[in-house]
Amino acid sequence: MLFQTYYRLDPWSFEPPLKDFGVIQFDNPKQMFSLFVRYKHAFNEGQESQVLVQTIHRKDDIPDLVRAVFTGDAEIDFSIGGKNHDGFTNFPDVYRDFIVALHEDMDRMASEIFNVVRWRMGIVGGPLGLQSEWSSMRWHDDTKGEKIFDEHGFLNRQMIAGLFTLRMPEMQKVDFDEECRVNVEKLINFQSKQPLYHDLFREAWQNQRDNPRSALVMGVAAAETGFKTSLMDLNPSVSWIVENLQSPPLDRMLRDYMAQLPARNRLNGEVRRPPNEVISKIKKGIELRNKLVHGREETVKTEDVRQILEAVRDLLYMLDYYRGHDWAIERVSPEVATSLNEG
């Protein structure tokens, strides 16, 4: 059977705007899950433009009792009197448990693939994870041979409100950039999640205006986690030391050790450290972070946090490049790229 969820996102919360990338679709390695992203313009006055993320998940390991409910073969009381206290039909517990678990899995898979796309494209902003309403999930019995989710294939048809008959066409794969598509598909094949340090960075970026102090703390944590993760990936023999002993300050590691990393990719045959300006901003971030967590500082300037986070982002993509992701060097800022090429 096929299941579909969708997410409507604020287009103004992404940087750069998702509309710049056109239509994007990606499948996971076993072709069991597809994610489709498109920018939807508002054509009528009063409507808002939005980013629409749709998913399709093929799931065949469905218990017989659950499948019987989907196919209409189960004896279910659909009358008003057959509703339980929360307004839903009295379906078998195994069916309700299946739906809740499936919904959680789809949100998780959608978030993982969406974040891999954003990592590769250098897109910040937007929600940290995608969350949908389980009652809006759509389903289709593909054994019938139809290629579209029929109008009755909604889980919320089981609610007192009645049928929800929105129809969506079958998703079509659109090539927006073949090189990027190949890169993302490789990432999905070999690494289902973006690195934790990019998760931390995205959370920091999200909070920089409303909560600059927490953004600063999280941003520095992203930089420190990124360097330690890369060090253990490139030189596994130091894993125990990194995990169990206190490391020198990150800015010192960047100045004195980064060039010694056994990198998989190099810049003109060398492993180069970040430019001095990047290291200086990260050092400033570390110092401010330490003052905050020890109660010696109460406020930080939003502009300072922004500059520190931009430096952290450059560092993280440099580390991605050294870890073997060729495309990552394209994501560093033009100023840093120029400095690295001149270095």
- DSSP per residue over 197-265, as a string? HHHHHHHHHHHTTT-HHHHHHHHHHHHHHHHHHHHHHH-GGGHHHHHHSPPPPHHHHHHHTGGGS--SS
Identify the pLDDT of residue 183: 64
Identify the pLDDT of residue 82: 44
Q: Give the confidence band of 141 by pLDDT, cuts at 50, 70, 90.
A: confident
pLDDT surpassing 50 at residue 159: no
What proportion of the chain, given as a percentage, has pLDDT over 70?
Answer: 77
pLDDT surpassing 70 at residue 167: no
Rounded CA gap, 123 and 9, in Å? 14
Tell me the backbone φ, ψ of residue 267, rounded to 5 degrees.
-110, 110
Give 256: exposed, middle or buried? Use CB within 10 Å, 0-12, 13-18, 19+: exposed
Residue 260 token pair: 């010694």
pLDDT surpassing 90 at residue 343: no
pTM equals 0.77
Rounded CA gap, 217 and 220, in Å? 5
Are the C-beta atoms of 213 and 300 separated by less than 8 Å? yes
pLDDT surpassing 50 at residue 156: no
pLDDT tens across 243-300, in order? Answer: 887 889 999 999 999 999 999 999 989 999 999 999 999 999 999 999 998 888 778 8
Are the C-beta atoms of 5 and 107 separated by less than 8 Å? yes
**Cβ-based neighbours of 205, under 8 Å, separated by 6 or more:** 124, 125, 215, 219, 309, 313
3-state secondary structure of 79: coil
Q: Which of 171, 187, 189, 52 is nearest to 121 (CA)?
A: 187
H/E run at residue 55: strand 50-58
* β-sheet bridge partners, residue 83: 89
Rounded CA gap, 195 and 232, in Å? 13
